[in-house]
Structure 1
Amino acid sequence: MSLALALDFQYTTTIEKLWSAITDSSKLAKWVLENDFKPIVGHRFQFRAQPNDYWDGIINGEVLVVDPPDKLSYTWAVGEEKHTVVWTLQDLGDGKINLHLDQMGFSNVHGLEGARHGWTAWCGELEKQLAQ
């Protein structure tokens, strides 16, 4: 069984600024985690968090789709779990941009709920970054 997460976030910004925030390594580090991300299809990268007793702090990824400024997709692998993350950007007009997240491949509801909590917190940080 494979579970999927879908979330939408609205930001008052430009689509270019939001695209940059999800594809620029130094900007990603400010709202997600330290990383060596590059928006190049096939690029392998890591997000790095503080290790703990349960996890080495490493998320491995590979870029799958780069379609600026509309769509970005990459794999998201932690231990045995391997997911696909897809970001879709949509200009709603009036200076509002919708950022839609699909994350597919969860093996259990605990992982899905953990991701929902994590992305909601991270996307709150993203809002602060965009406001600067």
Structure 2
Amino acid sequence: MNEGSTETRAVVVEREFRHPAEKIWRALTQPHLIEEWLMKNDFKPAVGHRFNLRGDWGGVLDCEVLAVEPHRTLSYRWDFPHDDAAYDLRSVVTFTLTPTRSGTHLRVEQSGFRPDQKQAYGGARAGWPQFLERLDQVVAQED
């Protein structure tokens, strides 16, 4: 019955921001701001909207918005189609914002990494903290 492992792993990164959820939300959902901290895109915060994230490295991610709960939750498919199965990533990224006394707690989870996708998993583990550092800088500039 068990034809290869279907178990997947997730990368979870959490960070405290000294900004209200509304400001973080804006940076997560406005294309010109997303470009500053993540990648070039044609994002719209509407469930079912299909969009691309275009990396400086030349790669294109196929995405689709799965959930939008303003100032609380944003979730989208984050797929990197590739002929080589080890690189063919089918994942979901979920941003969860929780107000705190001093600002906002942001939890980012990227789930769906197969055991054979060590490079993609490692890349996400290294990449998300850097993306969130840039996100913090973008939000601070909006003050």
Common topology (TM > 0.5): yes
Task: Return the alpha-carbon distance in structure 1 between the equivalents of residues 71 and 139 of structure 2.
Answer: 16
Identity %: 34
Task: Return the alpha-carbon distance in structure 1 between the equivalents of residues 104 and 56 of structure 2.
Answer: 31
* Partner in structure 2 of residue 57 of structure 1: 59
Task: Return the alpha-carbon distance in structure 1 between the equivalents of residues 40 and 119 of structure 2.
Answer: 24
SS at the partner of 1:40? coil
Task: Return the alpha-carbon distance in structure 1 between the equivalents of residues 111 and 78 of structure 2.
Answer: 10
- How many Å apart are 1:110 and its aligned residue? 2.5
- How many Å apart are 1:102 and its aligned residue? 1.0
The code of the aligned residue for 2:25 comes to W
* Partner in structure 1 of residue 120 of structure 2: 111
Task: Return the alpha-carbon distance in structure 2 between the equivalents of residues 49 and 86 of structure 1.
Answer: 19
Tell me the alpha carbon deviations over residues 65-113 of structure 1, each in whole angstroms, 9 at most, x when there is no partner: 000110000000012211011100000112x211101111001332212
**Which of the two has higher C-alpha Rg?**
2
CA RMSD of aligned residues (A): 1.1
List gaps (5 residues or longer) in structure 1.
none
1:3–1:109 Cα contact (<8 Å) kept: no
Match of residue 102, structure 1, among 109, 119, 131: 109
SS at the partner of 2:45? coil
How does the TM-score come out when normalised to structure 2? 0.85
SS at the partner of 1:69? coil
List gaps (5 residues or longer) in structure 2.
1-6, 82-87
How does the TM-score come out when normalised to structure 1? 0.91
Match of residue 85, structure 1, among 85, 93, 114: 93
Q: What is the number of equivalent residue pairs in this alignment?
A: 127
The code of the aligned residue for 1:77 comes to D
The code of the aligned residue for 1:74 comes to Y
Match of residue 44, structure 1, among 44, 50, 68: 50
